[in-house]
Structure 1
Amino acid sequence: MSAKEPPVRQEVIFELDFISSLGRKICLYPFIGKSKPMIMGYFVFYILAATTALQLFLTLVLASASDLLEIINIAPNLGVCIMTVIKYTKLETHKDVYNEIFFHFRDGMWDIVSPNSKIQKSIITKYRKIAMIINRFLLYYSIPLTVVVDSFPYIFMKYEEKFHDLREYLYPFEGWYPFNKIEYYGIVYVWESCMTAVVVIVYLFANMIHASYIVFTCMELRILGCCLEDLISPSDVENIKKGFNVNAIQFGIEKKFKIIIARYEYLAKKCAALDSVLGGAMLLNYSLGAIFICLTAFTCTVVDNSYKRVRYFFMCMSLLVEIFNQCLIGQILSDHSENLTNSIYSSNWIYASPETKKIILMLILRTQKPFEFTGNGYVTMNMNTFSRICSNSYQFFNLLRTMF
């Protein structure tokens, strides 16, 4: 890192390198040109996550169709494992996309940043802090989450054994095994604890990198907005009014505007690429989210076992948070891309040349279709979608309660 780089750029690069260093620990970074140990590590993680998903699938298949509570206990865990495998696979198979975006924010976007603009510096500082807060929260949230999920069954089992004289074997996710898992309780518990940690770490890291990319995309959109507002400076306006060096000024305005358009189109293409990568997982979340939230919330209210009541409650909350996260980042991305229209209106566009005005009009038309995250094009991920999912879940919940 060059000592001459501005501090705000160093802060962004530091945050990107922080994500990169975490990714290496689960064999995802660097994106391209990984060493053989890293490639082997990737396949080890992949096989472990896929094996856990297969194990839970067999557990669901072999579960009694009449035991609704057992099916409800297995299905959300299976869904999380499948989502983990999908996210981990997508990060690797689309590493060229992630790599290009990573180095764009690290090196490529800074030619449009004015070193003397206090507004742009404040924008970069603000969004870098937002990215840092999100990343640190996900990192430090994953540690207690893993500890609680892994230790809570054992602690509750010992509590019931000591104070209520009950001996019920509990596990982190209670998968199926081709042998008597009570006889090998210690081995089974260690296996499920390790697999739970793998799933949590991969899942949260995927959320971390996607959230960071969206935050930095919004940051660059805000910077582009500032560039649009400052496209024609007050001094340029005065010179144009006086007829002084008009052709050179208009040429410079048109050149700067084309750079802004090129950068906007680049962001549009990268967001579309991310949408195609995440579309399947988002569609799966949308399709099954309302059902799983409803089932876990319903089971939490009717089950008699205290351990399962707590388990279903936190499972329901986790599902809500995950769906809320996807809808929120989609809403924020759309809002920031739509705000470019206001930035265009705020500029002194009336003093631009007729050719530049035509290009401005084309950009206004382009910004009427904001950047979006969708479920494979079938549903837009925004806060309206989250509200619809919650509404459907509540309706299903009331129906189940009435039937029960």
Structure 2
Amino acid sequence: MEFPNLAFKLAFIKPFRRPHETKPTILAWILFSIGAGNLVYQNFGMLIAMIFTKNDSIDIVLIISETGSILGLAMVALCKMTILFAYRKDILSILEELENYFPGVLKVHRCCRRIQYRVKYFAEFSRKMMKITTIFFMFAFLVYNLIPVGQSLIEWLVFGLHFQYRYQSNTWYPWNGNTVIRYTLSYVCQVYSSLAGVAFIMAGEFMLCFFLTQMRMHFDFLARALESLDAVEVEADPGCMNFLIQYHTTLIRLTTEINHIFNISFCVNFATSSVAICLMGCSMVMGISLISAVRYSIGLLSFLVFTLFICYNGSIFTQTSAKLHSAAFYHNWYDASPKYRKTILIIIMRAAKPSELQAYKFSKVSMETFMDILKFSYKLFTFFRAME
């Protein structure tokens, strides 16, 4: 939970607080409310600014591309925030159950005690993936917020031009105007909204990664336990098969609960990414300067990174759960009695369809889905280029 907790600290909130833990301070709630409020307003402010922009000076396709691309990130972040709070009780329940099933706490049947959990392997793999993602999002956050003011300062100090009040995105505020106080207020509001957006995107991604890493560890243990079974020994101890079947049933149920929590988020992520990747690409090639191209390239990479993060985790989770089918089949069940064969058949039939994450049954969360998103985005990109 190191990196999920880091994301929650950036959002100034602890949504998964146990009863014995201290409540967030009043200052933390105020800072969270400011960030969340700016994130919610960002969606409306950008739409208002797009409606009132004079279309005779700027191409309408460029306006749609710029607004839609940044709006997509705000919508994804808002969806993550809503999901984490709407399902906070369910998430806490799964966390407590996974804690009870963690190696050293779960009472493993004696037929499986010679099999060791690969805790360190899965922990290091997950930690490395979340660390790289954290570094990228922090870099993207800094670049996104520093480019506008940095460009204005360079023009003012180096080239002697008038200081232009540039913002991170074209968002309407009631106090907009060409004064230092109004500019600073608008700029800080957008910094807070982007910080909240990055924090909740990271929190949602990392909680999903945390759950899937735990589930992969259990599926891996169960697959290796089934593969090492001696049917003759197990048949003499009926409690072993009961433990394995109950263990598998629990993993299937936990997968269903995790999917129930995140499937709305998957739908929003995939639908938004398909359009936003296209719009970010259009903004890059249609921008009026190299600086704007760099700024939108950061947004494009952000969509690619968090979509790849979800799809890759879903794909390796499915691959790990798929090992159960062959592991249950390739042991000496043929040396056992017909009753044992019928029992092992239950696991084989259940494992015939690997556990996987679904975006409301529209598509599964996998690398194939990631490639489909890229293909669809490219088709939209060629369509917008034809409109230009």
Band of TM-score, shorter chain: 0.7 to 0.9
Per the normalisation by structure 2, the TM-score is 0.86
Give yes or no for contact 1:283–1:376 (8 Å, CA) kept in 2.
Answer: yes
TM-score normalised by the chain length of structure 1: 0.83
Equivalent residue number for residue 250 of structure 1: 235
| Counterpart residue number, 1:72 | 65
Query: Aligned partners of 1:45, 1:352: CA distance in 2, in Å?
Result: 61
Deviation at 1:29, TM superposition (A): 4.7
Instruction: Give the corresponding residue for 1:197.
Output: 195
Q: Percent identity?
A: 21
Is 1:180 paired with 2:164?
A: no
Q: CA deviation at 1:300?
A: 0.8
Q: Pick one of 29, 40, 48 that aligns with 1:61.
A: 48
- Secondary structure of the 2:322 match is helix
Whole-Å Cα distance in 1 between the matches of residues 183 and 143 of structure 2?
19
Deviation at 1:145, TM superposition (A): 3.0
Where does residue 94 of structure 1 map in the other structure? 87
Tell me the matched-pair count.
374
RMSD: 2.8
Q: Secondary structure at the match of 2:167?
A: coil
Matching of residue 137 in structure 1 with residue 132 in structure 2 = yes
1:124 aligns with 2:111: no
- TM-superposed CA distance for 1:46, in Å, is 5.3
AA in 2 matched with 1:289: S
User: Shift of residue 32 of structure 1?
Assistant: 4.0
Matches within 5 A, 1:289-300: 289-300=273-284
SS in 2 for 1:326: helix
| Residues 349, 43 of structure 1: alpha-carbon distance in 2 compared, 3 angstrom cutoff | farther
Measure the CA separation in 1 of the matches of 2:188 and 2:293. 23
1:311 CA drift (Å):
1.3
Q: Structure 1 residues 20 and 290, CA, compared in 2 at 3 Å: closer, same or farther?
A: closer
Contact 1:232 1:348 in 2 (8 A): yes
Please state if 1:106 is matched with 2:93.
Answer: no
> Does 1:351 pair with 2:335?
yes
Structure 2, unmatched stretches of 5+, are none
Is the 2:15–2:84 Cα contact (8 Å) retained in structure 1? no
Residue 80 of structure 2 aligns with an amino acid whose one-letter code is K
**Offset from partner CA, 1:33-75 (integer Å, 9 cap, x none):** 3655469956862563244233332321341474332332222
Contact kept, 8 Å, 1:218 with 1:333, in 2: the verdict is: yes
Following superposition, the deviation at residue 87 of structure 1 comes to 1.6
**2:230 aligned counterpart, secondary structure:** coil
Distance in 1 between residues matched to 2:38 and 2:302, nearest whole Å: 22
Rounded Cα–Cα distance in structure 2 between residues aligned with 1:330 and 1:51 = 31
Residue range with higher mean Cα deviation, 183-192 or 46-55 = 46-55
The whole-number CA distance in structure 2 between the counterparts of 1:63 and 1:50 is: 20
8 Å Cα contact 1:60-1:71 kept in structure 2:
no
Q: Distance in 2 between matches of 1:255 and 1:118?
A: 16
Q: Following superposition of structure 1 onto structure 2, how do residues 221-370 of structure 1 map, counting pairs within 5 Å?
A: 221-232=219-230, 236=232, 249-252=234-237, 254-370=238-354
1:313 Cα deviation after fit:
1.4
Compare relative contact order (CA 8 Å, sep 6+) and give the higher one, 1 or 2: 2
Letter in 2 for 1:54: Y
Q: Cα 1:177–1:17, aligned 2, differ >3 Å: closer, same or farther? A: closer
Q: Secondary structure at the match of 2:288?
A: coil
Tell me if structure 2 keeps the 8 A contact 1:31–1:92.
no
Q: 224-233 or 112-121, which moves further after superposition?
A: 112-121
Note if contact 1:31-1:95 (Cα within 8 Å) is conserved in structure 2. Answer: no
- 1:80 Cα deviation after fit: 2.0
**Partners of 2:17 and 2:24 in 1: CA distance:** 14
2:76 and 2:93 map into 1 onto residues whose CA distance is 24
Q: Decide whether aligned partners of structure 1 residues 142 and 317 sit closer, same or farther in structure 2, where only a CA change above 3 A counts.
A: closer
Match of 2:380 in 1: 396
**Native 8 Å contact 1:113 1:223 kept in 2:** no
Could you give the per-residue CA deviations for residues 71-102 of structure 1, whole angstroms, max 9, x where no partner exists?
Answer: 32222322222222222232223223222332
Q: Which runs of 5+ in 1 are unaligned?
A: 1-15, 238-248
